Amino acid sequence: MADLAALTAAVEAGNRTDAAQLTQAAVDEGLDPRTILGAMTTAMDTVGRKFQDGELFVPEMLIAARAMKAGTAILEPVLLAAGVTPEFRAVVGTVEGDLHDIGKNLVGMMWKGGGLEVIDLGVNVSADKFVAAVREHDAHIVGVSALLTTTMSNMRGVVEAVHAATPGVRVVIGGAPVTPEFAAQIGADGYAPDAGAAVDLARGLLHA
Ligand code: B1M
């Protein structure tokens, strides 16, 4: 019998072999793919919470995301065949001039783990590129990361350009030098201090 509790535990522990096998077993048994995905999302929610609380660190979060990827690789064709697609799409990128991508990648992984479709534009992304990607993918939310005090000022241009070109699309920001006060100052829709909090922030904004 499919063991979804074990699947949740495997993803949380970052065990990708078990995550893949347990996902395959659940698929073979004909379980609703959304239920299987839910078991993995639950694990990533726990990982995000523990990360926020300082109980887990970056490596554990990365291996959990990798285990979830092993499961979703099996699940994706089943979800597609069942006509299940993520309700919301997100565009993420590191702001223009900035090449740091580890935090941005974590946010992207956690958003995927939280059920969003994520389009990752990489690093050194201009405001125009963010806008073009939002239009191309009909995205609902944009996540912008900056690690340098010299590049965080470029976030203002992204917020303004996305809001002007695609009203209603939310822009959230984060990264080591970024503060909630700065986010408010540049008109961003939100700020998250870490990748776990970014999931709660996106959910709150998208379901508002
Ligand atoms: Co650079 N670097 N770096 N660097 N680098 C820092 C950021 C720095 C603090 C080091 C220092 O001086 N102590 C400093 C910035 C100083 C400042 O501006 N205040 C610095 C500098 C100066 C530079 C260069 C200018 C160095 C030089 O060439 N003279 C240069 C800049 C290049 C450029 O970007 N144009 C540079 C280059 C590099 C490397 C390429 C060598 C490498 C990046 C590799 C890569 O990313 N692929 C690198 C690294 C690794 C670092 C440090 C050591 C680590 C950054 C990191 O990945 N942290 C960093 C010092 C440090 O932080 N201790 C440093 C781990 C990561 C998980 O954390 O990205 O903060 P972080 O993400 C967190 C949160 O911030 C948040 O969630 C994550 C955790 O969950 N978060 C978001 C991030 N984005 C978010 C978005 C959100 C929400 C939350 O919503 C969308």
DSSP state, residue 166: S
Q: What are phi and psi of 173, to 5 degrees?
A: -130, 160
Ligand 1: residue whose CA is nearest its atom 21: 148
Mean of all residue pLDDT scores within the chain:
95
| CB of 61 sitting under 6 A from ligand 1 | no
100 — pLDDT class (breaks 50, 70, 90): very high
Report which ligand 1 atom has the smallest distance to the Cα of 198.
Answer: 88
pLDDT score, position 14: 97
First to last CA, the chain: 38
pLDDT score, position 1: 76
Q: What are phi and psi of 121, to 5 degrees?
A: -90, 0
Residue bearing tokens 């300082």: 54
How many angstroms is it from 146 CA to the middle of ligand 1? 8
What interhelical angle do 58-81 and 4-13 show, nearest 10?
Answer: 140
| CB of 107 sitting under 6 A from ligand 1 | yes
What interhelical angle do 16-28 and 4-13 show, nearest 10?
Answer: 160
How many angstroms is it from 99 CA to the middle of ligand 1? 8
Q: Cβ contacts of residue 136 below 8 Å, gap of 6+?
A: none
pLDDT per residue as tens digits for the range 39-61: 999 999 999 999 999 999 999 99
pLDDT per residue as tens digits for the range 171-200: 999 999 999 999 999 999 999 999 999 999
- The domains found in the chain, sorted by start residue, are 4-81 (1.10.1240.10), 89-206 (3.40.50.280)
Q: Cβ contacts of residue 128 below 8 Å, gap of 6+?
A: 161
pLDDT score, position 53: 95
Where does the chain have alpha helices with state H? 4-13, 16-28, 33-52, 58-81, 102-113, 127-137, 154-165, 180-185, 195-206
pLDDT per residue as tens digits for the range 2-21: 899 999 999 999 999 999 99
Q: What is the pTM of this model?
A: 0.91
